[in-house]
Chains A and B, each alone.
Chain A
Amino acid sequence: MDLFEYQGKQYFARYDIPVSPGDVAYTVDEAVAAAEMAGYPVVVKAQVQVGGRGKAGGIKLADNADEVRLHAGNILGMDIKGHLVKRVWVEHASDIKKEYYASYTLDRAAKKHLLMLSAEGGVEIEAVAATNPDAIVMLHIDPVDGISLAAARDAAVRAKIDDEAVDGVADMLVKLYRCFTEGDCDLAEINPLILRPDGGVHALDAKVSLDNNAAFRHPEWDEFRATEELDEREQLARTHDLQYIGLDGTVGIIANGAGLAMSTLDVVNQVGGSAANFLDIGGGANADMMAAALGVINFDENVKSIFINIFGGITRGEEVAKGIVEALGRVELRAPIVIRLDGTNAEEGRAILANAGIPESKLISKPTMLEAARAAVAIAQGA
């Protein structure tokens, strides 16, 4: 789950990482109140999860309440690359002497945490990596050991962070690492991390991506979930705990296992069709989940056929079959189902489907993935 800038800053603050004083605002009046609290001059920043906010006019400086009204009024409701601005972050404008970059991620190849630190912040780190890779210090950290203040300080010196900022940056690196690990982030990035003329350092931006698998130990994430921008189909899938990604094709896809679901998309594509979605009902899916998955697919007006591709391991064939029969009893599906069922208890499952008295106009069974894909695509294309 990706956080908005203001949520990232609030998350940073939990780990004592200094950020500019400010608040989030949903209306012009709230923006003015936030500005009064933060102290002028302030920056009014559009909260959208897409780059290029500044160029689009989504970040403005304001010296007084009238200017805040003007800018907040313009920015709220603005469309930035297809993202509607529903809220702004208003914070005290900082004097900037230098801009640095710091981030932690998991380096999957090395199986260690990776700190990236650079004295050249404020620009896309990918651009720095391309033009001046030596300007980025990369430090692998053993997750068992973590990062010490001494190691953080050493990294800051090697990254050519200005002398007066080294201690402050090192302190922030240790705090950011705590946020990254205890806070269960996939990514914790500060760009820019600024040095002020008074010698202090703080985070001027926050990019945080949280690991959904850790949600069970973070009740504080509930409020982030509430603002996550999902389309209606994705919302519905979320309530049923289904792994769903909306796409724009005409063949609805249900598969068990992420790999098989991806592969199903590929095969549909190869036989000339296009998938309406990615949907993994997961291991151990039962009748209820299958019925819920069909409900989500049925919500999508573009769907012309539904391809159910099941290969049973944990998922049992008879459960899948029961789910389909149940769903057909509960809801009027907008499109016929093409099913390919194999693996654990597949024969029992196929028998349940065959004996349920479902007409062929609603359910077709095919023995292989390719044949099922061809049948589903043919129906979707009106053949």
Chain B
Amino acid sequence: MAIFVNEHTKVIVQGLTGGQGKYHGLRNKAYGTQVVGGVTPGKGGTDVEGVPVFNTVAEAVAATGATASFIAVPPKAASAAILEAAAAGIGFIVCITEGIPAQDEARTYNTLVRDYPNTRLLGPNCPGIISPGKCNIGITAGEIAEVPTASGPNVGIVSRSGTLTYQALYELKQRGIGVSTCVGIGGDPVPGTNFIDCLKEFQADPETHAIIMIGEIGGSAEEEAAEFIKANVTKPMSAYIAGVTAPEGKKMGHAGAITSGGKGTAKGKMEALAAAGVKVGNNPTEAGDLMAEIVAALKG
């Protein structure tokens, strides 16, 4: 199993001929992901190390049967690229682009909801998704993700921060704990996929036995996730929230990471999650230790 993507997922890369698209697209392919094509307007008919390039997503889908897209284009072009993929029938879009204007993001998200309800957007400004041993879309270094075992227990990871996603993968790898799927939802104000979307999938996925959630300051996504967990998630969880020491009112790099008027603080989020029965660590390593305890208990 795994959630959202697996060994059958066929991926195209929008921006395959660009620096980031080429580097990571080919890395994803080398990992074993079915990277079946690329899209760059005006470069159709060429190829990037054997991967065929098309002018439009529609052409790429018709020729390859792609079901997912990896978008690695500059901020100015990202919204149009997302909508083009959705219009071409792509069901799962991963957009790693950082720096998209919030107004564009809000319009694009609401357009997807209205006109393309069967398309899921992951990101923007996210590291992507990896179902270890099956499919890696995005910028995650595949070798730091432990492949899940048939017998389990395996852990699902959902994170708002890119580098902390790797950190979480790394913590589990160090302990030899398998990962079913690791989803980086991104740190922007309007993420296409949120914590609850992922928690719902992990709860339903038979290959996932426990869940790590990595949040950060700003907004109320973690608090809403805590409410959802309380009512719907029976699998054991650990969590970490970044930004305990963040000064109020300053954007901590991510457009979404800002506390104001005592709201969106790490402390409030940690308390909400703890109240929902989640074991909350004070740093990524502690969250990993807590997960190791959970996994040991599951093994009985």
Q: Does A108 lie within 8 Å of B220, measured CB to CB?
A: yes
Q: Confirm or deny: A58 has a beta carbon within 8 angstroms of a beta carbon on chain B.
A: no
Stretch from B5-13, B56-64, B156-164, B197-205 that touches the partner? B156-164
Cβ contact within 8 Å between B103 and A211 = yes
Who on chain B is nearest to A266 by CB?
Answer: B244
* B292 on the A face (CB < 8 A): no
- A side interface size, CB within 8 A: 52
Q: How many A-B residue pairs have CB under 8 A?
A: 170
A261 interface residue, CB < 8 Å from B? yes
Known: A257-B162, A262-B253, A270-B282. 11 other contacts (CB 8 A): A111-B190, A186-B102, A259-B160, A259-B161, A260-B162, A262-B161, A262-B217, A265-B243, A282-B98, A313-B127, A369-B284
A278 in complex: contacting residue of B110, B140, B253, B261, CB < 8 Å: B253
* Chain A contacts with B in 247-290, Cβ cutoff 8 A: 247, 255-263, 265-270, 275, 278, 280, 282-284
Is the Cβ of B243 less than 8 Å from the Cβ of A106?
no
Q: Chain B residues in contact with chain A, CB under 8 A?
A: 20, 24, 75-76, 96, 98-104, 106-107, 109-111, 114, 127, 139-141, 144, 159-164, 166-167, 170, 187, 189-190, 214, 216-217, 219-221, 224, 240, 242-247, 250, 252-257, 261, 266, 282-285
Contact partners of B111 in chain A: CB under 8 A: 144
Q: A111-B110, A261-B252 are in contact. Are A267 and B101 (CB under 8 A)?
A: no
Interface of A toward B, CB cutoff 8 Å: 106, 108-109, 111-113, 126, 142-144, 181, 184, 186, 211, 213-214, 216-217, 243, 245, 247, 255-263, 265-270, 275, 278, 280, 282-284, 311-314, 342-344, 368-370
Instruction: Identify B98's interface contact among A143, A144, A283, A369, CB under 8 A.
Output: A283
Chain B residues whose CB sits within 8 angstroms of the CB of A344 once the complex forms: 141
- Residues in A neighbouring B217, C-beta threshold 8 A: 262
Determine which of B110, B221, B252, B285 lies in contact with A112 in the assembled complex, contact meaning CB atoms within 8 Å.
B110
A-B CB contact pairs (8 Å), 11 listed: A109-B221, A213-B102, A245-B252, A259-B162, A262-B217, A263-B161, A265-B245, A311-B167, A342-B170, A344-B141, A370-B285
Contact among A213, A256, A263, A282 with B283 in the assembled complex (CB-CB below 8 Å): A263
State A268–B104 Cα separation when bound (angstroms).
36
Q: Which residues of chain B are within 8 angstroms of A275 by Cβ–Cβ distance? A: 245
- Whether A258 contacts B283 in the complex (CB less than 8 A), given A144-B114, A314-B24, A343-B166, comes out as no
Write the nearest CB–CB distance from A44 to chain B, whole angstroms. 28
Contact A263 B164 (CB under 8 A): yes
B163 touches which one: A142, A265, A268, A311 (CB < 8 A)?
A311
The residue that B254 contacts in the complex, of A106, A255, A259, A370, with Cβ under 8 A, is A259
A47 → B minimal CB distance (Å): 19
The 10 residue pairs across chains A and B that have the minimum distance between CB atoms: A259-B161, A258-B253, A257-B163, A260-B163, A214-B101, A259-B164, A280-B253, A262-B242, A258-B254, A313-B139
Is A283 within 8 A of B162, CB to CB? yes
CA distance A265 to B216 in the complex (A): 13
B103 CB contact (under 8 Å) in A126, A142, A143: A143
